[in-house]
Structure 1
Amino acid sequence: MTTRLPLFPLNSVVFPGVATPLHVFEERYRALVRDLLGRSDPADRIFGITAIREGFEVAGPGDSVEHGRQSLCTTGTVVQLTGVEPYDDGRFDIETVGRQRFVLHEVDGSGDYAVGAVDLVTEPDTDDVTGVEAERTLAIFERYRDRLGRMRGGPVLSGQLPRDPTYLSWSLSATCLLTQAQRQELLEAPDTLTRLVLLRHSLVEEMEAMQVVPSLPATGISRMGWSPN
């Protein structure tokens, strides 16, 4: 069922189960945070984050996602506002946690901030095959993390990872050193098994590239944290 969801376009990809800090300084997003804080139930303080393909202005009333003044990826993540630090000048530092994916159909930019017409995506159940693939992908990641640590001269990408295949796939998607296009492909994957296979192939390719060019990878290490909430 299509529903309306406030939107916060970003130049990055956010995943379900992942905690993401944001600095809010533009007036339209300050208005969004103020409106969210006005909701008495913290569970209702939700909005959608979707990655920007190109452009920087929100679309006008009734503009499609592709033909508005801003080109947005059509798959994004519903996030919940979990923490706020206000500044005297009206800015906010906020904490969010991803809850589930959505598909964006239309953007309305006529209000104080953009609102999207979206369909929420339910993650398919996993099976034994997915569990086996999760173990294979985790083993590849441990090799990748060890090799990257030896290149960097110390531990990197440290921290405990979830064992649940779906949450593991989201956590690795946010943690591994991937391009934005690769992250968006992972977000759009139809199920956990597909996402784990994509991750494993990306990690193997990255390790092969490390052998050829030792200075790789050039992608910055993700500062996002995983959360089961």
Structure 2
Amino acid sequence: MIPPKIPIFPLPNVVLFPTVLLPLHVFEPRYRALVEDALAGDRVIGMVLLRPGFEANYEGRPPVFQTGCAGNITHAEQLENGRFNIVLRGETKFRIAGEDVGRAYRLARIDAIEDADDGNAIVVMREQRERLLRILQALLARMGSEARFPPDMSDEELVNGFAQNLELDALERQALLELPGVLPRCRALADLLEMKSHASPGGWEGTALH
């Protein structure tokens, strides 16, 4: 369970999903302080996406999407220049309820959001997972690549991993994150990939993973 108050790290192109790893290079002084405090505490950082137009107030407190994902620092390396290389593992979605001021970085009061788990939709989930994999296999084959997907990955790991690591627009990833569960996220991701495939008959570059 994540604490009710966590530091948030707003970025313009990064959306973290539960169960997925995210490497980050942290160089701004305020976010280096954030990492130092997190490492001295519960090691939790909330990732949130900056809203369009953030550039006008980037050094202050630009607007962010209210739904984000809290991650746990699984690896941290402080460099000689004071910067950090860290790895976050996505844990839980959250919604920002408010922010506290007084620190160089942003500290948010949050409400955790659990993805819905409909145990009665096992058959539908299997069908949507197979559909998503078929679409990805077809797209990769069109580009001359061979698709290899670990068969033992859970539905959550598979769907969230693709949602985070495929070359999607940040707003598309944010929309996927905000969906209420793995099944609707899987269905929406498959729909999105089909649409992109039809829009680019010669092959969609977004099948490359980060």
Q: Does 1:139 align with 2:139?
A: no
Distance 1:219 1:145, change over 3 A: closer
Query: Which deviates further from its counterpart, 75-84 or 197-206?
Result: 197-206
Equivalent residue number for residue 204 of structure 2: 217
Aligned-residue offset at 1:6: 0.3
Equivalent residue number for residue 144 of structure 2: 153
Equivalent residue number for residue 8 of structure 1: 9
Aligned-residue offset at 1:107: 2.8
Equivalent residue number for residue 82 of structure 2: 90
* Matched AA of 1:21: P
Aligned-residue offset at 1:70: 0.7
Equivalent residue number for residue 32 of structure 2: 30
CA distance in 2, matches of 1:167, 1:161: 11
**Unaligned regions of 5+ residues in structure 2, if any?**
none
Q: Percent identity?
A: 29
The alignment yields a C-alpha RMSD, in angstroms, of 2.5
CA distance in 1, matches of 2:186, 2:34: 34
**Unaligned regions of 5+ residues in structure 1, if any?**
61-68, 224-229
The answer (yes or no) to whether the contact 1:177–1:217 under 8 Å persists in 2 is no
- Give the alignment of 1:57-68 within 5 angstroms: 57=57
Distance 1:196 1:142, change over 3 A: closer
Query: Is the partner of 1:53 in helix, strand or coil?
Result: coil
* Superposition TM-score, scaled by structure 2 size: 0.85
* Superposition TM-score, scaled by structure 1 size: 0.79
Deviation per residue, 1:18-67 (Å, 9 max, x gap): 0000000000111111112223xxxx21010001113144696xxxxxxx
CA distance in 2, matches of 1:175, 1:111: 32
- Give the alignment of 1:66-77 within 5 angstroms: 69-77=61-69
